[in-house]
């Protein structure tokens, strides 16, 4: 299959909507990362997403809607006040909520679960595409399974060339890490995957917010994750990643770099001078820019052919929690304190 890379002109959006309606898969930008979309109500179309990504069949997809009217057909009952408050505060935006699913949502989308994850993206191209399609759009991140999520159209093409008919190029993603996935089945909202909406933002609306143990810790032997995605190897480039934390970060990275052939350092802009002539990629100046740059930097490390990637950590607060969640997984929990 030939893959077309198009800017989101009205004509391109109309054709992309037509492709989705006819059961095809389209790569498209959101404010978090690029997604690989298909008609969520069409099992055969959804199947093509799993095939294009090489995604395990027991990992459910997020269904994307353009407006509040899109929600009712997908869920089993009216959203409760908790859900309402979060939707009012953060939709459209990088927040995914888990609801009991309606019978209309195919089991393939939810991997057989009786819940469905729903998100209303704010990116104008994502909004326009869902409207053009006229159907809810199931969309995981547009990477081959296990690879870093794509934050530019070129990243999507790198993984999906020849596997999907069309990719819409909306430029680099603003947030850079995926949406925050929140489970509403307990007393307080529980973050299963941290992302663009922070714990503090949720607490401002919901008074309490729990962070699932698996966010910053490896799953224990035989432990069942609340979110199936948490059990897979994730976000990993070909090079071996190690994360460095604490006050000796720079010293420890320099020691490791100097003892390791073909290493590469991912560092905060302000620390670059400490590394001198050693090979570095800047992650920007703070947790927000780290989030925006991280996945692209991990892909860049592969393009440079680095065997070993030594990455500075960040305080796991605000969007820094999402950064550390992704980094720990990319590093398979190789952490030096």
Which segments are annotated as binding site for L-threonine?
32, 64, 119, 139, 179
Cα separation, 313 vs 247, in Å, equals 11
Q: Determine the residue with CB nearest ligand TXA.
A: 229
| CA 125 from centroid of its chain's CA atoms | 17
Q: Give the residue numbers of the binding site.
A: 32, 55, 59, 64, 115, 119, 139, 141, 149, 179, 193, 235
151 touches ligand TXA (CB under 6 A): no
Site membership for ligand TXA, residue 113 (CB under 6 A):
yes
Closest CA to 191 of 83, 77, 97: 97
Residues 78 and 188: their CA atoms lie apart, in Å, by 18
Can residue 141 be called a binding residue for ligand TXA (CB under 6 A)?
A: yes
DSSP string, 114-160: SEEEEE----HHHHHHHHHHTS-EE--BSSPTTSPPP-SHHHHHHHH
Beta strands in the chain (DSSP E): 4-6, 26-28, 35-39, 62-64, 95-100, 115-119, 137-138, 166-168, 180-183, 190-193, 210-211, 240-244, 263-267, 280-282, 308-312, 335-336
Partner from ligand TXA, Mg ion, none binding residue 93, C-beta < 5-8 Å depending on class: none
Residues that bind Mg ion (CB under 5 A): 141
Binds ligand TXA by CB under 6 A, chosen from 13, 71, 95, 181:
181
Of 39, 122, 179, 242, the one binding ligand TXA by CB under 6 A: 179
Which one of ligand TXA, Mg ion, none is in contact with 181 (Cβ closer than 5 to 8 A by kind)? Answer: ligand TXA
Residue 229 binds ligand TXA, judged by CB under 6 A? yes
Q: How far is the CB of 26 from ligand TXA (least distance, A)?
A: 12
Under 8 Å between Cβ of 193 and 59:
no
Q: How far is the CB of 296 from ligand TXA (least distance, A)?
A: 15
Nearer to Mg ion, 141 or 179 (CB): 141
CB of 196 to ligand TXA, least distance (A): 7
Report the SS3 class of residue 310: strand
- For ligand TXA, the closer of residues 178 and 312 by Cβ is 178
| Residue nearer to ligand TXA on the CB measure, 173 or 266 | 173
CA dihedral for 125, 128, 133, 135, sign (positive or negative): positive
Q: Report the C-alpha gap between 331 and 241 in whole angstroms.
A: 5
139 contributes a contact to ligand TXA by CB under 6 A: yes
How far, in Å, CA of 218 to CA of 223, rounded? Answer: 10
Tokens 């714990």 -> residue: 199
Q: For ligand TXA, which stretch binds (CB under 6 A), given 9-17, 177-185, 239-247, 276-284?
A: 177-185
Nearer to ligand TXA, 152 or 242 (CB): 152
**3 state SS of 241:** strand
125's CB contacts (< 8 A; 6+ apart) are 8, 13, 28, 29, 168, 170
Which of ligand TXA, Mg ion, none does residue 297 bind (CB under 5 to 8 Å by kind)? none
Give the separation between CA 234 and CA 198, rounded to whole angstroms.
Answer: 21
- Asked if 170 touches ligand TXA (CB under 6 A), the answer is no
Q: How many residues bind ligand TXA (CB under 6 A)?
A: 29
Q: Is 197 in the site for ligand TXA (CB under 6 A)?
A: no
Give, as ranges, the residues between 4 and 33 that touch ligand TXA (CB under 6 A).
30, 32-33
The item of Mg ion, ligand TXA, none sharing an interface with residue 252, based on CB under 5 to 8 Å by kind, is none
| C-alpha distance across the termini of the chain, in Å | 47
- By the criterion CB under 6 A, which residues form the site for ligand TXA? 30, 32-33, 35, 59-62, 94, 96, 98, 110, 113, 115-117, 119, 121, 139-141, 178-179, 181, 192-193, 227-229
């Amino acid at each position: 299959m030939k893959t077309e890379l198009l800017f989101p002109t009205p004509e391109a959006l109309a054709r992309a909507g037509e492709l989705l309606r006819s059961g095809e898969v389209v790569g498209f930008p959101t404010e978090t990362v690029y997604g690989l979309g298909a008609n969520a109500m069409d099992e055969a179309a959804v199947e093509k997403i799993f095939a294009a990504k090489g995604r395990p069949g027991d990992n459910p997809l997020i269904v994307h809607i353009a407006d509040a009217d899109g929600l009712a057909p997908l869920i089993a009952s009216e959203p409760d006040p908790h859900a309402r408050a979060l939707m009012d505060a953060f939709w459209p935006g990088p927040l995914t909520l888990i609801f009991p699913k309606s019978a209309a949502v195919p089991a393939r989308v939810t991997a057989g679960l009786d819940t469905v994850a729903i998100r209303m993206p704010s990116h104008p191209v994502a909004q326009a595409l869902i409207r053009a399609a006229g159907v809810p759009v199931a969309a995981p991140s547009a990477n081959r399974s296990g690879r870093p999520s794509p934050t530019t159209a070129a990243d999507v093409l790198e993984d999906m060339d020849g596997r999907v008919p069309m990719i819409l190029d909306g430029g680099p993603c603003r947030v850079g890490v995926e949406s925050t996935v929140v489970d509403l089945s307990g007393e307080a909202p529980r973050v299963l995957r941290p992302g663009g909406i922070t714990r503090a933002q949720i607490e401002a609306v919901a008074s309490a917010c729990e962070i699932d143990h698996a966010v910053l810790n490896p799953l224990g032997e035989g432990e069942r994750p609340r979110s199936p995605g948490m059990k897979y190897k994730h976000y990993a480039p070909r090079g071996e990643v190690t994360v460095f934390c604490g006050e000796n970060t720079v010293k420890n990275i320099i020691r490791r770099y100097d003892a390791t052939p073909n290493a590469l350092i991912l560092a905060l802009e302000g620390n670059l001078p400490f590394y001198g002539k050693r090979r570095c990629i800047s992650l920007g100046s703070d947790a927000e820019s780290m989030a925006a740059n991280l996945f692209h930097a991990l892909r860049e490390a592969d393009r440079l052919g680095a065997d070993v990637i030594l990455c500075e950590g960040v305080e796991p607060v605000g969007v820094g929690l999402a950064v550390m969640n992704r980094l720990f997984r990319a590093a398979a929990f190789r952490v030096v304190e």
